[in-house]
């Protein structure tokens, strides 16, 4: 199903359904005491329907939940296309991962019915909805059968209505990193005050993502040998990976001409460049190769067959330069240094965690323009000046400085 179709359904049908459920809950709960979390909850559901990078940023929240409730079984509800990351990171046991297939409307409706029945049979003690004002995630929190429902509230923001049945609602804060806000959702499980954030602990931005993907040294060595056999021009040089694709939000992409100039400069400085991405990024990679004009710039789009292979590729490279998106967050699971372009969205809210990531922003007055309040719809019509004004020359200088600091690659 197209993204715009999903937004239209969520906006119009979603608001109606949320209003209906709110009225129903109000009638049922008129004489009932507010639900409280058991001291030893058995089952907790986390709803994470958005992009795969958000799963990585939720790592500290999962660590906090496991520390607080060691006997609880954590369940995760995601879109089917994003489940690979949760399996790889071990966020929950495979049998506790629940999926919605949004490839078509009928498939999605069938999965909503199937997953809701499965969750209600558990039963759930609580559900944490990590989505920013998505109506389908709010409705799923109710359909799950959990008496305790945690999620974000728009407070007085107009146009973001999604009902009043989230009974542990905390205000969304557009000035705090999303990882800290995920932790506030976990804090709200045991809070009864309003607003919930007042009772939350004072937290610093997590220093790391609290997630690991173990690799055997021999596995990494074998993968690197295979990569060098497939692309001999990478051998003997330090490898810099570039992700020039924009994914589902093309306005987040640094200009292709800038990437070509950067790649040429890196190759001229004695490094190799690998252009990564999905198979549909192959045309972009071919154009960049042609503009770069160097045999040391190779097309790796579609080369990695899984997120695990992508992480092994990161282990064998010295630096990743990427647009805002999943690769920058996945890189934080590995030792690779990362430079990430932000503009339509901001690194202050969505930047990768950890000391090895550097955020590149222009600071243009209209940036960032994508937010939870406008459903991530920009007004720049593809003319993303916030990224176009980040010139290639200073980026190349920073990249070379990082490469000089980190020494030779593995």
Could you identify the residue written with the tokens 């079984």?
A: 73
For residue 108, is pLDDT > 70? Answer: yes
pTM of the predicted model as reported, rounded to 2 decimal places: 0.90
74-111 burial by CB neighbour count: b if 16+ within 10 A, else e?
bbbbbbbebbebbbbbebbeeeebbbbebeeeeebeeb
Domain boundary (199, 231, 248) is at 199
Provide the CA 101 distance to its chain's centre, in angstroms: 18
Alpha-carbon separation of residue 13 from 22, 136, 372 (angstroms): 14, 10, 19
Q: Based on the fold, state whether residues 222 and 340 are members of the same structural domain.
A: yes
Q: Domain check: are 195 and 223 in the same one?
A: no
Parallel, antiparallel or unpaired: strands 126-129 and 43-47: parallel
Q: Cα separation of 337 and 240, whole Å?
A: 10
Tell me, yes or no, whether 208 lies in a domain. no
Closest to 289 in 3D by CA, of 235, 355, 344, 244: 244
Which residue has tokens 């720049």? Answer: 380
The residues, any chain, with a CB within 8 Å of residue 388's CB and separated by 6 or more, are 255, 258
Each residue of 266-275: b (16+ CB within 10 Å) or e? Answer: bbeeebbbbb
The DSSP bridge partners found for residue 77 are: 47, 98
Is the separation of the CB atoms in 359 and 342 below 8 Å?
A: yes
- Lowest-confidence region among 104-108, 195-199, 312-316, 331-335: 195-199
Q: What confidence category does residue 409 fall into, taking pLDDT thresholds of 50, 70 and 90?
A: very low
Distances in whole angstroms, Cα of residue 124 to Cα of each of 53, 91, 149, 178, 383: 26, 17, 10, 25, 46
Banded model confidence at residue 226, pLDDT cuts 50, 70, 90: very high
Which domain, by its residues, includes 65?
3-199
Q: Indicate the DSSP class of residue 122.
A: S
Q: Looking at residue 30, what is its pLDDT?
A: 67
**CATH number, residue 144:** 3.40.50.2000
The fraction of the chain above a pLDDT of 70, given in percent, is 97
Supply 43's token pair.
């089952």
Q: Place 194 in a pLDDT band, splitting at 50, 70 and 90.
A: low
| 240 and 106 assigned to the same domain | no
Residue 273 domain flag: yes
Say whether pLDDT at 153 is over 50. yes
Count of domains forming the chain: 2
Closest CA to 157 of 141, 140, 169: 169
Residues 331 and 374 in one domain: yes
Domain boundary among 138, 170, 199: 199
CB 97 within 8 A of CB 86: yes
* DSSP 8-class letter at 271: -
Distance, CA of 24 to CA of 20 (rounded, Å): 6
Domain end (from 199, 226, 254): 199
Angle at CA of residue 231, ends 228 and 234, nearest 5°: 70
Under a CB-based contact definition with an 8 Å cutoff, are residues 355 and 320 in contact?
A: no
Which one, of 245, 293, 265, 244, lies nearest residue 393 by Cα?
Answer: 265
CA distance 289 to 299: 8
Q: What is the mean pLDDT of residues 393-404?
A: 96
What is the average per-residue pLDDT within 225-246? 94
Q: 226 lies in a domain?
A: yes
Q: Are the C-beta atoms of residues 40 and 72 closer than 8 Å to each other?
A: yes
Residues 6 or more apart whose CB falls under 8 angstroms from that of 360 comprise 339, 340, 341, 342, 390, 395, 398
Same domain, 282 and 383: yes
Asked if 99 and 132 sit in the same domain, the reply is yes
Residue 224 has pLDDT above 90, yes or no: yes
Terminal Cα-to-Cα distance of the chain (whole angstroms): 42
287 and 256 in a single domain? The answer is yes
Q: 271, 284, 281, 186: which is closest to 235 by C-alpha?
A: 271
Same domain, 297 and 370: yes
Lowest model confidence (mean pLDDT) among 143-147, 240-244, 274-278, 370-374? 370-374
Does the pLDDT of residue 4 top 60, yes or no?
A: yes
In angstroms, rounded to a whole number, what is the distance separating the alpha carbons of residues 91 and 286?
A: 37
Is residue 161 located within the same domain as residue 230?
no
């Amino acid at each position: 199903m197209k993204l715009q179709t999903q937004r239209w359904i969520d906006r119009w049908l979603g608001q109606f359904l949320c209003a209906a459920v709110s009225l129903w809950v109000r009638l049922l709960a008129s004489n009932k005491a507010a639900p409280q979390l058991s001291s030893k909850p058995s089952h907790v559901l986390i709803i994470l329907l958005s992009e795969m990078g958000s799963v990585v940023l939720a790592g500290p929240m999962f660590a906090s939940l496991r520390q607080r409730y060691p006997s609880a079984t954590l369940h995760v509800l995601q879109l089917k296309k994003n489940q690979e990351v949760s399996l790889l990171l071990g966020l929950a046991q495979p049998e506790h991962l629940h999926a919605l297939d949004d490839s078509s409307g009928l498939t999605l409706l069938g999965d909503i019915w199937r997953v809701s029945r499965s969750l209600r049979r558990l039963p759930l003690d609580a559900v944490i909805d990590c989505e920013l004002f998505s109506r389908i995630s709010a409705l799923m929190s109710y359909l799950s059968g959990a008496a305790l429902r945690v999620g974000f509230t728009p407070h007085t923001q107009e146009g973001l209505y999604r009902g009043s049945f989230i009974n542990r609602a905390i205000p969304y804060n557009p000035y705090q990193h999303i990882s800290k806000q995920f932790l506030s959702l976990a804090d709200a499980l045991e809070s009864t005050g309003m607003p919930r954030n007042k009772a939350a602990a004072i937290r610093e931005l997590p220093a790391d993502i609290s997630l690991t993907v173990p690799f055997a040294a021999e596995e990494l060595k074998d993968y690197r040998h295979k990569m060098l056999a497939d692309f001999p021009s990478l051998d003997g040089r330090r490898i810099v990976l570039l992700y020039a694709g924009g994914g589902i939000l093309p306005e987040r992409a640094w200009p292709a001409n800038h990437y070509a100039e950067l790649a040429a400069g890196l190759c001229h400085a004695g490094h190799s460049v690998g252009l990564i991405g999905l198979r549909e990024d192959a045309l972009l990679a071919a154009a960049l190769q042609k503009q770069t004009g160097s045999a040391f710039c190779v097309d790796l789009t579609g080369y990695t067959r899984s997120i695990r292979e992508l992480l092994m590729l990161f282990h064998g490279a010295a630096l990743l330069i990427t647009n805002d998106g999943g690769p920058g967050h996945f890189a934080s699971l590995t030792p690779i240094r990362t430079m990430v372009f932000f503009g339509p969205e901001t690194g202050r809210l969505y930047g990768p965690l950890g000391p090895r990531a550097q955020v590149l922003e222009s600071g243009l007055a209209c940036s960032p323009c994508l937010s939870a309040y406008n459903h991530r719809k920009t007004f720049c019509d593809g003319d993303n000046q916030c990224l176009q004004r980040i010139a290639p020359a200073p980026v190349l200088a920073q990249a070379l400085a990082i490469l000089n600091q980190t020494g030779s690659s593995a």
